[in-house]
Homo-oligomer: A and B are copies of this chain.
Amino acid sequence: MTTPPMSGRKAQAARNDELILQAARAVFTADPGAPIAAVAERAGVGISALYRRYPSKEDLLRKLCLDGLHLYIAVSEKALDDQGDPWEAFAGYMRGIVDADSSSLTIKLAGTFQPTPELGAAAVRASELATRIHARAVEAGVLRPDVTTADIALLFEQMASVKLGDDERTGQLRHRYLALLLDALRRPASHAALPGPAPEDAELSARWVP
């Protein structure tokens, strides 16, 4: 295996680094209000192993949120590189974001801690990429133009709200409803005009402040 020598206190600690992050991601994704103890238990470590790495719960949450944004950004960049069929590129992007499942964490945790500059910068970058992907799909004529970038963000949140059974089942269902959604988004097709104005950026960003 590619695993480094697994004995030694240092190696153990390095493995715990990853173990703790994975556990924290899983636990807080399932329940954003979960206690620290739940993370420790899931990771199979003591509470002190957590506090050795992060000064407080809030710091751990920030780390998780930042990781989520970076994953979001990575998926978006990959989608922008896709020079194939415009619709498939856009649909693949949406499937990728839904699989990344960073919306749940990023959105639900927003407002529970002070955003750092680094976090703000990542959010801006993510937003830029989303805008470009959206614009490209509209310009290619494959995406109905009365749906805005902000709409897409809210639609991601709706997909993230689907939760039923275990993680695998949940993912399966999210893709089921994403397929339904993509049917409605695709152009050309017969569409009714959407009622009400699209969300403003200000409305979305308002949730980032406690």
* A192 beta carbon closer than 8 Å to chain B: yes
- Measured CA separation A151–B204 after assembly (Å): 28
A176 touches B157 (CB 8 A): no
- Measured CA separation A118–B192 after assembly (Å): 41
B161 touches A157 (CB 8 A): yes
A194 touches B181 (CB 8 A): no
* A195 beta carbon closer than 8 Å to chain B: yes
A180 touches B181 (CB 8 A): yes
- Measured CA separation A172–B192 after assembly (Å): 16
> Which residues of B lie under 8 Å from residue A165 when comparing CB positions?
203, 206
A180 touches B194 (CB 8 A): yes
* A183 beta carbon closer than 8 Å to chain B: yes
Please provide the chain A residues from 115 to 169 with a CB less than 8 Å away from any CB of chain B in the complex.
147, 151, 154-155, 157-159, 161-162, 164-165, 169
